Amino acid sequence: MELNFNSERPIFQQIAEGIEDSILSGVFPEESQIPSITEFSVQYKINPATALKGINLLVDEGMIYKKRGLGMFVAQGAMEALGKKRKAGFYEKFVASLVKEARRLGIGKEELDVMLEKGFSEGEKDKEGEVVL
């Protein structure tokens, strides 16, 4: 996880999103412990209160819970709940603006479908030019 100190998004939100990304990618499996507030603050050179605020966002959403004296852990069902949350926001954040721009450029649904298919088939390529999905 990298923090962008020049971003308009507050650091605590970036911390929360970074933890969400780590849960979704399996870095922090359900019921596993996440780094402590102190570890986050030292690693990213931020105030512990900022790290706590980011983690508390996820506690409030039920994605993270505290085991007294042991630390913070990923809640059971967090991966599924985060997937649903992110999918709901995906339309608003990406699809709606994509369609709006396509219309401005005179790109129809069929042409957009072709572009999307090309994007999926090309995927990301590694250094050797191999497709990585």
Q: Where are the domains of the chain?
A: 11-78, 80-122
The pLDDT-based confidence of 129 (bands split at 50, 70, 90) is low
Global confidence as pTM:
0.73
**What share of the chain in percent tops pLDDT 70?**
92
Q: Is the dihedral of CA 49, 55, 61, 62 positive or negative?
A: negative
- Nearest by Cα to 3 from 16, 19, 14: 14
Q: Which of 46, 74, 69, 48 is nearest to 59 (CA)?
A: 74
- Residue range 11-78, CATH number: 1.10.10.10
pLDDT tens digits, one per residue of 45-103: 999 999 999 999 999 999 999 999 999 999 999 999 999 999 988 988 899 999 999 99
Region label for 56, one of left (φ > 0), alpha (ψ between -120 and 50) or beta (otherwise): alpha
